[in-house]
A = this chain, B = another copy of it.
Amino acid sequence: MGTVPKPGEAVIKIQAAALNHRDVWILKALYPGIVEGSILAADGVGTLVHSGSSSLKVGQRVLLPPSVGWESDPRAPDSNRYGALGMLPLPGTLADTVNIDGKEIFPCPEHLSTPEAAAIPLAGLTAFRAVFTKSEIQKDQHVLVTGVGGGVALFALQFAVAAGANVYATSSSEEKIKLAVSLGAKGGVNYKDPDAIYNLNKLLGNNQLSAVVDGSGGELFDHYLGLMKRGGIITQYGQTASRKGVTFTMKSVMKHVDLRASTMGSRVEFKQMIKFIEKHKIKPIVSHVFNGLTQENMDKAISVLDAGQQAGKVVIEIDETPRSSKL
């Protein structure tokens, strides 16, 4: 149950882990750079059993970062040691314990349940960087978050709402649009509706979008520009609905609209995000919780993600039986 910590390493007894699409791709061997023997999952919350170089105390509840080796550069990872948890040489959180450099862990906000806390790291960090560092979203702006239902999109929605922006959402599910509205969105449209852009324009009234946070590059993508202000920003953290990429046109150039790229974030951004979640008492949206790290639970959890049935994060609570989910 866990290896002996190296100098400086903290040891965390995992209470819960959350899954990401990334884990599904790794299981399907579709993820680049995959290493056999990796332990899955980048998201974890647990109890500190050995402090290492951390100033936190044994017994304290801590959040693990989804990646390590990216200190502070706002543009991109600033070291070659950069990597995400859930792939060797780094540990995965679907395990009883994780050893990690003590400086990488942070106290877990107290208002969160264990599954809520586990939901945060990867999706929360990706959303935080996409919303603030890249899209520069501010109070009173009108902004669009696409594909709510996904973990990153829901965090992006919650963060933008908490920052005082007027947020609009898209989804293929009326349920998920209702969820978005219940979280503070001004409204949403079904992207499968042929009138989606017309409806979105109507929702906006006389306002124009300052930012779009998008993870898909789906069919509506080319229409966002027409709804945007001069100088707006589109940030993409993925392209799940576009194998060939998206198009950047002369109209974007004339309108000063940037197309920005984002994935995960730095340790500085992770720290800012935890503070922001604490300040605004944000409750992450947990879709499914499976209790116990069993093969059956893993199969169920992966199939939920694979079918896109979730609205929010899929969490595995780790039971007391020593084991881990290895490739």
Contacts and interface: CB of A to CB of B under 8 A. Distances in A.
Interface string A234-254: 001111000011111110111
A76 to B, nearest CB: 3
Interface stretch (A85-93, A173-181, A257-265, A297-305): A257-265
Contacts of A263: 253-254, 256
A281 interface: no
Nearest to A250: B239
A229 interface: yes
A256 B245 contact: no
Contacts of A257: 261
Interface residues of A, number: 31
Nearest to A253: B261
A231 B75 CA distance: 5
A73 interface: yes
Nearest to A262: B256
A103 interface: no
A230 interface: yes
A255 interface: yes
Contacts of A77: 230-231, 256
A195 to B, nearest CB: 25
A253 B247 contact: no
Contact of A236 (B76, B134, B253): B253
B245 A247 contact: yes
A212 B230 CA distance: 22
A263 B258 CA distance: 12
A250 B259 CA distance: 12
A54 to B, nearest CB: 28
Nearest to A73: B231
A108 B317 CA distance: 70
Given A259-B258, A261-B255, A261-B257, A239 B249 contact: yes
A231 B263 CA distance: 11
Contacts of A247: 244-248
A256 B249 contact: no
Task: List 9 tightest A-B contacts by C-beta distance, closest first.
Answer: A76-B231, A75-B231, A245-B249, A76-B230, A76-B256, A245-B247, A259-B259, A258-B260, A253-B261
Interface of A: 73, 75-77, 134, 229-231, 236-239, 244-250, 252-263
25 contacts: A75-B230, A75-B231, A76-B230, A76-B231, A77-B231, A77-B256, A236-B248, A239-B253, A245-B248, A245-B249, A245-B250, A246-B247, A246-B248, A247-B247, A248-B248, A248-B261, A252-B261, A253-B261, A253-B262, A253-B263, A255-B261, A256-B261, A256-B262, A258-B259, A258-B261
Given A77-B230, A134-B258, A253-B263, 7 more contacts: A77-B256, A238-B250, A239-B249, A244-B249, A245-B252, A256-B261, A256-B263
